[in-house]
A = this chain, B = another copy of it.
């Protein structure tokens, strides 16, 4: 039985509980989690709000120390966390290792950034005595308590101590996490590590609380509460848009950064395939199918030249994709949604639909491809939407004008990938311009999966990829989501 984690205490006042699910073994896990009550929600918010002053009065170095302490405590609990992670997500131990390392590296990156950069300074303009113009120092200050929604597909790196929490902490904002119901035990253990880390600092425990719920009530109540000043979310369009609308319906609207995924188009130019069809087919087969394609940056739509090389590329891709291993999906609901979406596509389209054959374990995502023509792409809206799973749509194009038409039909994206020679990039300036308009990250001759966590990353793109393209969910700039500029005039 696991209770809610409120400012360092465990609280189990409610009557409702839920269990998580073990996708590998296709059965519920044995632990129960208490859904937070109104009283518990209120307490978490009060503690969060009350801790804000002392948290953000601390120095950036003190916040860096907190992040480093969290790393130590995570390492302490690593083996416990790994067990919970695997049994709640169906992801492999090797994926756990990768994600654990990434989570640790992310904490250390922010710690180092806090130690080495003037994180709160923006600019200074000197007084001009002659014209009686004042002296101005522009800084950044934290917004206040941030509500973080854990993501289903990254139980560590985008959840309880994922990018949202780390950037909010780095900014000086207390955090209330609404744990993702798919991996509550993993979240609980990470929350435990955070509590121990806070104990080793001078900060109050109020800076972190984590609440459980397998429905929307707790999240909605938190999002509507006046004490919450910003929201970070990673998940579906439906969830992100609902939160965005909720936050804007408040008497005092607040910023919501919802990263809602995308289909991540890949634009392949003809010359780039010369003698490279096999190379790219292999790379993309892995990028589509790894971890059952459950990445927000999985390439889901390819524009391929209607040439001999284009056809060779497709035929190799088909081969390679079905040869890749299949992976267990995160949850029955995700598996079922994937199956339904594939079925819809198969029914709507006259294109060639292929799938990996043979028997798979239950809840393993079966790789597939759908090859369509231009008319279908323009007519069927579903073809422009994310498919969460190891699936991609392939669409031929005959001319650069046709490619241009496609770019104008697409919605906002997290990434756009360009496979092209330098010459093709230079000679297709206007097409490239339109591809750039689509996304927050443009990959040249690479695959979009694997988001580097660093200062220069941009993860977030025009709506509906995210709710505010002017910010990023990954990298040190993600702190900017939870800060605002303030100028001090003549404070001397």
Interface residues of A (CB under 8 A from B): 53, 57, 122-125, 133-134, 136-138, 141, 143-144, 244-245, 248, 252-255, 411-412, 430, 433, 436-437, 439-446, 452, 454-458, 462-464, 467-472, 477, 480-481, 483-492
Check B470 against A480 for contact (C-beta < 8 Å): yes
**Cross-chain contact of A470 among B255, B455, B492 (Cβ < 8 A):** B255
Nearest B residue to A474, CB-CB? B487
A442–B138 Cα gap in the complex (Å)?
10
> Taking each of A248, A483, A486, which has the highest tally of chain B beta carbons within 10 Å of its own beta carbon?
A486
**Chain B residues, CB < 8 A from A53:** 430, 433
Q: Tell me the smallest distance from the CB of A433 to a CB of chain B, in Å.
A: 6
CB of B444 within 8 A of CB of A252, answer no
Give min CB distance, A215 to chain B, whole Å. 25
On whether A457 and B487 interact (CB within 8 A), knowing A136-B452, A412-B252, the answer reads yes
A253-B467, A456-B136, A463-B252 given; A485·B477 CB < 8 A: yes
Known: A433-B53, A480-B470, A484-B470. A456 touches B490 (CB 8 A): no
Contacts of A252 in B (CB 8 A): 411-412, 462-464
Assess A487 versus B442: contact at CB under 8 Å? Given A125-B452, A433-B53, A458-B138.
yes
The 9 A-B pairs with the shortest beta carbon distances in the complex, nearest first, are A458-B487, A125-B456, A136-B456, A138-B456, A469-B484, A125-B454, A443-B489, A123-B456, A444-B491
Return chain B residues, CB-CB under 8 Å to A464: 252
Residues of chain B within 8 A of A487, CB atoms compared: 440-442, 456-458
Report chain B residues within 8 Å CB of A430.
53
CB-based nearest B residue for A480: B470
A290 to chain B, nearest CB (A): 15
Q: Which B residues touch A138, using CB under 8 A?
A: 455-458, 477
CB distance from A193 to the nearest CB of B (A): 26
Q: In the complex, which residue of chain B has the Cβ closest to the Cβ of A411?
A: B252
23 pairs from A and B in contact (CB 8 Å cutoff): A57-B433, A123-B456, A125-B455, A133-B452, A134-B443, A134-B452, A136-B454, A137-B456, A138-B455, A138-B456, A252-B412, A253-B467, A440-B486, A441-B489, A443-B489, A444-B492, A445-B490, A446-B489, A457-B487, A469-B484, A470-B483, A471-B485, A477-B485
Name which residue of chain B comes closest to A481, CB basis.
B470
- Check if A443 sits within 8 Å of B485, measured CB to CB: no
* Minimum CB–CB distance for A19 against chain B, Å: 37
The complex places the Cα of A487 from the Cα of B441 at a distance, in Å, of 5
Contact partners of A444 in chain B: CB under 8 A: 488-492
> Which residues of B sit under 8 angstroms from A462, Cβ to Cβ?
252, 484
Chain B: CB-nearest residue to A247: B248
Is A446 a contact partner of B125 (Cβ separation < 8 A)?
Answer: no
**Given A138-B458, A255-B470, A456-B487, 11 additional A-B pairs, CB 8 A:** A123-B477, A133-B452, A136-B452, A136-B454, A136-B456, A436-B486, A440-B485, A442-B488, A444-B488, A446-B489, A458-B487
